[in-house]
C-alpha cells in the first residue's frame, strides 16, 4: 500500500461564521397584546348549550387564528435563519460520503478476509473436537461450538488452538459422556425392574429419555403392578360370581324342570334343559322325513317366553309359518 501523501493534519480546515441574534421588534408591545387577548377570553363566560355554543366556537376560531399567525412567523424566521447552516451541513455530508465510499470498499475486503480466517479456525476447532470425542465414545457435534473459540485470541501465534480452549471443549464433552453413561445405567436398572414386574421394559426405560428419575419410574411401576393385580382380581371375582350365578340358575332349573322321555324340560318354555341324548349341532337341527306335508291353522295363547321358545322350535325344525290376517 502506498502512503497517503496528505497527512491528517493537512485535512484541518477553518470555517468562518458569525453567530446571529434574533430580535423581536416591539416585543413588549406584542407581549401586552397577548396578555390582553388571553385576559379578555379568560374573563368571558360561555354557555355551552345549543343556543350559545356558537359564541364559544367563534372565540376558539379567533384565538386559533392569532396562534397560527405567530407560529407561521416563527417558522418563516427559522427557515431563513437555518438556511446557511443547512447549506453548510449538506456540503460537509458530501465530503464525508466521498470518504466513506472508499472506506466501505476497503471494509468489505477486510470482512471477506476475516470470514475466510474464521472458517480456517473453525475447521481447526472441529478437528480438535473429533480427537477429544473419540476416546469419550461420543459424537463431536454433541456440544455446540462457542463463538469465542473462533476468535483470533483463542489461537496461538502459530495458528493452533490454545490449551485453555481444548480444556474447555474436553470438559463439556466429558459432561455429555457422563450423562450418557448414567442414562444407560438408569435404563438398564429400569429394564431389569420392569421385566421382573412382568411389564414392557422398553416403554418404561424410555421414560429416562423424558427426564424421569429412576426412583419416580420405580414408583410408577409399583403402581402399575398393583393396578394390574387389582384388575385381574376383579376379573377373577367377576368370573367366579358369574359361574356361581350360572350354577345356581342351572340348579333352580333342574329343580323346577319336568322329567320327560326327552329329558328335563322347562315347564314354562318347553325347552329341553338336559336331554337324554346329546343335543345335535345347530346346523343339524332340521328334521327330514318322508311323511306328507300338512297345513293347519292354529290360535296359540301363552307367555312371551313360551311363544318365543315355540318360534325357535319351529325354525329349528324347518316348519313354515305364514301370518294369517
Mean pLDDT per 10-residue segment, the chain (325 residues): 63 76 88 92 82 86 93 92 91 92 92 94 96 94 94 94 96 94 92 88 88 91 90 92 86 67 62 58 51 67 70 68 57
C-alpha 258/C-alpha 248 separation (Å) is 18
C-alpha 58/C-alpha 44 separation (Å) is 12
Q: Residue 155 contacts by C-beta under 8 Å, 6 or more apart in sequence?
A: 121, 124, 161, 162
pLDDT at position 289 is 57
Q: By C-alpha distance, which of 191, 192, 226, 225 is closest to 206?
A: 191
Helix (H, G, I), strand (E, B) or coil at 47: coil
Handedness of CA 293, 294, 295, 301 (dihedral sign): negative
Q: By C-alpha distance, which of 117, 115, 124, 114 is closest to 145?
A: 124
pTM beyond 0.75: the answer is no
- Phi and psi based region of residue 198 (left: phi greater than 0; alpha: psi -120 to 50; beta: remaining): left
C-alpha 290/C-alpha 118 separation (Å) is 106
CB 265 within 8 A of CB 272: yes
Say what the alpha-carbon torsion angle 152, 156, 162, 165 is, to the nearest 10 degrees. 0
C-alpha 222/C-alpha 41 separation (Å) is 89
Please name the residue that has the C-alpha cell 374573563. 43
Q: Residue 152 contacts by C-beta under 8 Å, 6 or more apart in sequence?
A: 117, 121
Say what the alpha-carbon torsion angle 235, 240, 242, 243 is, to the nearest 10 degrees. 140
**Backbone torsions φ then ψ of 15, nearest 5 degrees:** -125, 125
The arrangement of strands across the sheet holding 272-275 comes to: 258-260, 263-265, 272-275
Which one-letter DSSP state was computed for residue 227?
Answer: H
C-alpha 135/C-alpha 145 separation (Å) is 19
pLDDT at position 94 is 95
pLDDT at position 250 is 77
Q: Residue 88 contacts by C-beta under 8 Å, 6 or more apart in sequence?
A: 15, 17
Alpha helical stretches, state H, the chain: 27-42, 53-136, 163-196, 201-205, 214-256, 304-316
Please name the residue that has the C-alpha cell 418404561. 204
Amino acid at each position: 500500500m502506498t502512503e497517503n501523501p496528505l497527512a491528517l493534519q493537512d485535512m484541518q480546515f477553518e470555517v468562518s461564521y458569525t453567530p446571529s441574534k434574533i430580535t423581536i421588534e416591539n416585543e413588549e408591545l406584542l407581549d401586552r397584546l397577548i396578555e390582553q387577548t388571553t385576559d379578555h377570553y379568560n374573563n368571558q363566560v360561555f354557555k355551552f348549550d345549543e343556543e350559545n355554543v356558537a359564541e364559544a366556537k367563534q372565540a376558539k376560531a379567533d384565538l386559533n387564528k392569532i396562534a397560527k399567525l405567530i407560529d407561521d412567523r416563527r417558522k418563516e424566521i427559522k427557515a431563513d435563519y437555518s438556511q446557511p447552516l443547512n447549506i453548510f451541513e449538506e456540503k460537509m455530508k458530501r465530503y464525508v460520503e466521498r470518504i466513506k465510499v472508499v472506506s466501505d470498499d476497503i471494509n468489505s475486503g477486510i470482512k471477506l478476509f476475516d470470514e475466510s480466517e474464521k472458517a480456517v479456525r473453525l475447521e481447526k476447532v472441529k478437528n480438535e473436537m473429533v480427537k477429544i470425542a473419540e476416546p469419550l465414545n461420543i459424537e463431536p457435534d454433541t456440544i455446540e461450538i462457542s463463538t469465542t473459540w473462533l476468535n483470533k485470541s483463542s489461537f496461538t501465534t502459530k495458528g493452533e488452538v490454545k490449551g485453555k480452549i481444548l480444556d474447555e471443549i474436553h470438559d463439556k464433552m466429558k459432561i455429555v459422556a457422563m450423562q450418557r453413561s448414567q442414562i444407560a445405567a438408569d435404563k438398564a436398572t429400569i429394564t431389569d425392574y420392569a421385566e421382573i414386574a412382568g411389564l414392557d421394559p422398553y416403554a418404561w426405560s424410555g421414560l429416562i429419555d423424558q427426564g424421569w428419575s429412576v426412583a419416580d419410574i420405580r414408583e410408577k411401576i409399583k403402581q402399575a403392578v398393583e393396578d394390574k393385580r387389582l384388575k385381574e382380581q376383579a376379573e377373577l371375582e367377576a368370573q367366579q360370581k358369574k359361574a356361581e350365578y350360572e350354577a345356581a340358575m342351572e340348579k333352580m332349573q333342574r329343580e323346577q324342570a319336568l322329567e320327560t322321555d326327552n329329558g328335563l324340560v322347562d315347564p314354562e318354555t318347553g325347552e329341553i334343559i338336559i336331554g337324554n341324548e346329546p343335543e345335535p349341532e345347530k346346523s343339524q337341527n332340521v328334521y327330514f322325513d318322508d311323511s306328507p306335508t300338512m297345513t293347519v291353522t292354529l290360535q296359540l295363547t301363552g307367555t312371551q317366553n313360551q311363544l318365543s321358545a315355540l318360534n325357535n322350535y319351529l325354525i329349528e325344525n324347518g316348519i313354515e309359518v305364514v301370518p294369517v290376517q
